[in-house]
Chain A
Amino acid sequence: MGQIEWAMWANEQALASGLILVAGGIVATVGRFAQWYFGAYSIAAGALVCLLEYPRGRRRKGSTMERCGQKYVAAAVKLFGPLTRNYYVRAVLHLLLSVPAGFLLATILGTVCLAIASVIYLLAAIRGEQWLPIESKPKERPQAEDIKPPPSNPPPRPPAEARKKPNEDEVAAGGNPQVNPIPVTDEVV
């Protein structure tokens, strides 16, 4: 489990919670349920959470798949510097945001899910993870320039007798570990 970046799962969970808060809030407000103003709060809180969580952070190793159109939101999120980079801040923020929605049945599912996301972020923060924006790569050069020219000389070949030996006798350094069950004849090109 050592390589799991908990923040990535926390991010998915928080994004889902944001959507659930918005949905529950809409139901409570439109249906004019009792104490529906908690529903209105829930829509706002859910929208804020969605905006904050939409840009995916960079993975520690390898390339990260961006969410569609996230660079614009990421630019805004980057502006807050340590407030958005640090996962302790996010954990506390999500916990606080989730509490008022817990007073209404329509939004309590959002509360529980956001609280769980907060706990996962806390775990991520304890393990030293932080949100780093995905750097946009410079535009790839057109294909033609990528292809290196093939070598102009053929590789040096051993004298004709050596070439006739069957493959299994090759003891060359870094020799092919593949053992061919049916003998392979070397095509002399």
Chain B
Amino acid sequence: MGNWLVNHWFSVLILVVWIGLNVFLFVQTFLKYEKSDEYYYTREILGTALAVARASARCLNFNSMLILVPVCRNLLSFLRGTCSFCNRTLRKPLDQNLTFHKLVAYAICIFTAIHIIAHLFNFERYHTSQQAKDGSLASVLSGLSHHEKYGGSWLNPFQSPNMTVLYVTFTSIAGLTGVIGTVALILMVTSAMEFIRRHYFELFWFTHHLFIVYFLCLALHGFGRIVRGQTKDSMKESHPHKCAQSFEKWDHHDSHCRPPQFEGNPPESWKWIVAPVILYIFERILRLLRSQQRVMITKVVMHPSKVLELQMTKQGFSMEVGQYIFVKCPSISLLEWHPFTLTSAPEEDFFSIHVRAAGDWTENLIRAFEQHHSPVPRIQVDGPFGTVSEDVFQYEVAVLVGAGIGVTPFASILKSIWYKFQRADHNLKIQKAGHAALNFDKATDILTGLKQKTYFGRPKWENEFSTIATAHPKSVVGVFLCGPQTLAKNLRKCCHRYSSLDPRKVQFYFNKENF
């Protein structure tokens, strides 16, 4: 736990600041609408639901502003590059961009739910007080219509008794954009569930572009100016504190109080989202431009188990270990970009990916290259992005565990270690690297060509860990995993069990990287 905190304190700080800002914005807006005088009469009809709806709306604006930023991967790469002098821990949050994106998405869903429920109460109350004939303040306020002799200002959007809640919802800008935007949000969320993302990636990718609908609806949502408060002039003349009690006498000539005048709040959502939207548009243009750069395929290798290796070069491409690229093949699909971990080492003069058949696009890609068409299908590349797995090099002993295609990031690392070792790189702390590749096919490692011990069947982790602990009684051992969650649980348990209580003796540190 302590080790985790030391590595992740900056991410934790960002998280705390984000939560703090959400709480602050919610409370501040809530108090404004609950306490301030210009909404006195509005509260008379709506009660506390007004403040709840407005507070959640402000948090929605804030989070909608944030959500586009973590997916501007070129911007993040640029930041990572510019801050290369920064401590590795300060750059770590950049690698957790997708986690942050999901967190903000969950916040948007929660605030949307609060906002909708609050507005359901608001509309119901507006409707009820429009129908009420009891002469209460609420019903008098609802009666203020467009045809008021004192200038035409209204509070209640329900103008006539036979307007239903459904009618007003679908004939007001706020209602219509609200419903459409929420449906877009729900569709985005259901197609982004982990199960769908893992097995039907294209469905997720295409459906997620509904965010354009969501942002449009969000921007337009406030243009109807349906949230109304008393105007400043009206408050100077007839302040609610002195006039609210005498509401029956507003129409009388000799009354000091005039009926209050209202105006709608100007739309503010667009102000929050205009900058990230422009940033994101730049990001997409940049991806397009980078993808137009020529990629030369230098070697194509067909491995067993339907794994395709592509070795490529591109001008100006430079990578670090453990990074990934996005690949597009226009002859298969004009729109789809798919991520692949780089399996080559930075020391090599090409970069490579290993592609496993895992769905439509990958199967089509493998088939296209299998058929030896000449010329070979054109490939477009964006990247590299992602975590630089420098942590591996910090440990004297590193255990890299990869399951299936999960060996790919470690291939890059191992090859790099090998090159560094061959070239006697003095920065290399690693003395020994053990590679457990859980593939059942061949005795030789298909990815790296490195010699390795061949074991039959699934490793017994207890045996492995105790062997390593006995062989390196005083070392710090880093265990890295790219594989399924069940394996992660297993390995984490083993790390705890085999770490010695004495901090000078063998310590196992578990790292699960999101590749």
Question: Could you tell me which A residues sit within 8 Å of B by CB distance?
Answer: 1-5, 8-9, 12-13, 16, 20, 23-24, 27-28, 31, 33-34, 56, 59, 62, 65, 103-106, 108-109, 112-113, 116, 143, 146-150, 176-178, 180-182, 184, 187
Give the contacts of B320-368 with A (CB-CB under 8 A). Answer: 348, 359-360, 363
Confirm or deny: B116 has a beta carbon within 8 angstroms of a beta carbon on chain A. Answer: yes
> Which residues of chain A are near B128, meaning CB under 8 Å?
34
Query: Can you list 17 pairs linking A and B with CB atoms under 8 Å apart?
Result: A5-B199, A13-B186, A16-B186, A16-B190, A34-B127, A59-B199, A65-B195, A108-B179, A112-B183, A143-B458, A143-B460, A147-B458, A148-B456, A149-B456, A150-B455, A176-B444, A177-B303
* Contact indicator B360/A146 (Cβ below 8 Å): no
Complex Cα distance A187/B187, Å?
Answer: 58
> Which residues of chain B are near A3, meaning CB under 8 Å?
200, 359-360, 363
> Which residues of chain A are near B199, meaning CB under 8 Å?
5, 8, 59, 62
> Which residues of chain B are near A65, meaning CB under 8 Å?
195
Confirm or deny: B34 has a beta carbon within 8 angstroms of a beta carbon on chain A. Answer: no
The 5 closest A-B pairs by CB, nearest first: A178-B449, A147-B457, A12-B190, A13-B190, A105-B165
Confirm or deny: B124 has a beta carbon within 8 angstroms of a beta carbon on chain A. Answer: yes
Assuming the A-B contacts A4-B203, A146-B457, are A177 and B183 also in contact, with contact meaning beta carbons closer than 8 angstroms in the complex?
Answer: no
> Which residues of chain A are near B117, meaning CB under 8 Å?
23, 27
Complex Cα distance A178/B343, Å?
Answer: 13
Assuming the A-B contacts A8-B195, A147-B457, are A116 and B187 also in contact, with contact meaning beta carbons closer than 8 angstroms in the complex?
Answer: yes
CB distance from B221 to the nearest CB of A (A): 15
* Contact indicator A105/B120 (Cβ below 8 Å): yes
Complex Cα distance A103/B164, Å?
Answer: 11
Partner of A109, one of B116, B348, B456: B116
Partner of A105, one of B169, B191, B448: B169
Complex Cα distance A23/B200, Å?
Answer: 29
CB distance from A20 to the nearest CB of B (A): 7
* Contact indicator A16/B189 (Cβ below 8 Å): yes
As a 0/1 sequence over residues 449 to 488 of chain B, the CB contacts with chain A under 8 angstroms (1 = contact) are 1010001111010000000000000000000000000000
> Which residues of chain A are near B419, meaning CB under 8 Å?
182
> Which residues of chain A are near B270, meaning CB under 8 Å?
none
> Which residues of chain A are near B360, meaning CB under 8 Å?
1-4
- Chain B interface bracket (under 10, 10 to 19, 20 to 34, 35 or more): 35 or more
Question: Could you tell me which B residues sit within 8 Å of A by CB distance?
Answer: 113, 116-117, 120-121, 123-124, 127-128, 165-166, 169, 179, 182-183, 186-187, 189-191, 193, 195-196, 199-200, 202-203, 301, 303, 309, 348, 359-360, 363, 419, 422, 444, 446, 448-449, 451, 455-458, 460
> Which residues of chain A are near B444, meaning CB under 8 Å?
176
> Which residues of chain A are near B127, meaning CB under 8 Å?
34
Complex Cα distance A27/B120, Å?
Answer: 8
Q: Which of A4, A113, A149 has the most CB of B within 10 A?
A: A4
CB distance from A160 to the nearest CB of B (A): 19
CB distance from B483 to the nearest CB of A (A): 15
* Contact indicator B200/A4 (Cβ below 8 Å): yes
> Which residues of chain B are near A62, meaning CB under 8 Å?
199
Complex Cα distance A9/B197, Å?
Answer: 10
* Contact indicator B179/A109 (Cβ below 8 Å): yes
> Which residues of chain B are near A113, meaning CB under 8 Å?
183, 186
* Contact indicator A8/B183 (Cβ below 8 Å): no
* Contact indicator A106/B456 (Cβ below 8 Å): no
Assuming the A-B contacts A31-B121, A33-B124, A178-B448, are A108 and B193 also in contact, with contact meaning beta carbons closer than 8 angstroms in the complex?
Answer: no
Assuming the A-B contacts A1-B360, A181-B348, are A13 and B187 also in contact, with contact meaning beta carbons closer than 8 angstroms in the complex?
Answer: yes
CB distance from A4 to the nearest CB of B (A): 5
> A20 — nearest CB in chain B belongs to which residue?
B186
Complex Cα distance A161/B419, Å?
Answer: 28
Partner of B202, one of A4, A59, A105: A4
Complex Cα distance A112/B193, Å?
Answer: 20
Complex Cα distance A65/B12, Å?
Answer: 31
Partner of A116, one of B183, B303, B359: B183
Assuming the A-B contacts A1-B360, A105-B123, A106-B120, are A9 and B203 also in contact, with contact meaning beta carbons closer than 8 angstroms in the complex?
Answer: yes
* Contact indicator A150/B456 (Cβ below 8 Å): yes
* Contact indicator A177/B301 (Cβ below 8 Å): yes
Complex Cα distance A24/B121, Å?
Answer: 11
Partner of A148, one of B189, B363, B446, B457: B457
* Contact indicator B460/A31 (Cβ below 8 Å): no
Complex Cα distance A65/B455, Å?
Answer: 29
> Which residues of chain B are near A109, meaning CB under 8 Å?
116, 179, 182-183, 186
Complex Cα distance A13/B210, Å?
Answer: 15
CB distance from B417 to the nearest CB of A (A): 13
CB distance from B102 to the nearest CB of A (A): 16
> Which residues of chain B are near A148, meaning CB under 8 Å?
456-457
* Contact indicator B120/A31 (Cβ below 8 Å): yes
Q: Which of B116, B123, B191, B460 has the most CB of A within 10 A?
A: B116
CB distance from B370 to the nearest CB of A (A): 15
Assuming the A-B contacts A34-B124, A108-B166, A113-B183, are A12 and B196 also in contact, with contact meaning beta carbons closer than 8 angstroms in the complex?
Answer: yes
* Contact indicator A34/B165 (Cβ below 8 Å): yes
Complex Cα distance A149/B193, Å?
Answer: 42
> Which residues of chain A are near B359, meaning CB under 8 Å?
3
> Which residues of chain B are near A104, meaning CB under 8 Å?
166
Assuming the A-B contacts A112-B179, A176-B449, are A8 and B186 also in contact, with contact meaning beta carbons closer than 8 angstroms in the complex?
Answer: no
> Which residues of chain B are near A143, meaning CB under 8 Å?
458, 460
* Contact indicator B457/A9 (Cβ below 8 Å): no
Complex Cα distance A106/B189, Å?
Answer: 20
Partner of A9, one of B113, B179, B190, B303: B190
> A175 — nearest CB in chain B belongs to which residue?
B444
CB distance from B385 to the nearest CB of A (A): 26
> Which residues of chain A are near B196, meaning CB under 8 Å?
8-9, 12
> Which residues of chain B are near A5, meaning CB under 8 Å?
199-200
> Which residues of chain A are near B448, meaning CB under 8 Å?
178
**Contacts A20-B186, A147-B456, A182-B422 supplied; 16 other A-B pairs, CB < 8 Å:** A1-B360, A3-B360, A4-B203, A8-B199, A9-B191, A9-B196, A12-B190, A12-B191, A28-B120, A34-B127, A108-B179, A112-B179, A146-B458, A178-B446, A182-B419, A184-B449
> Which residues of chain A are near B202, meaning CB under 8 Å?
1, 4
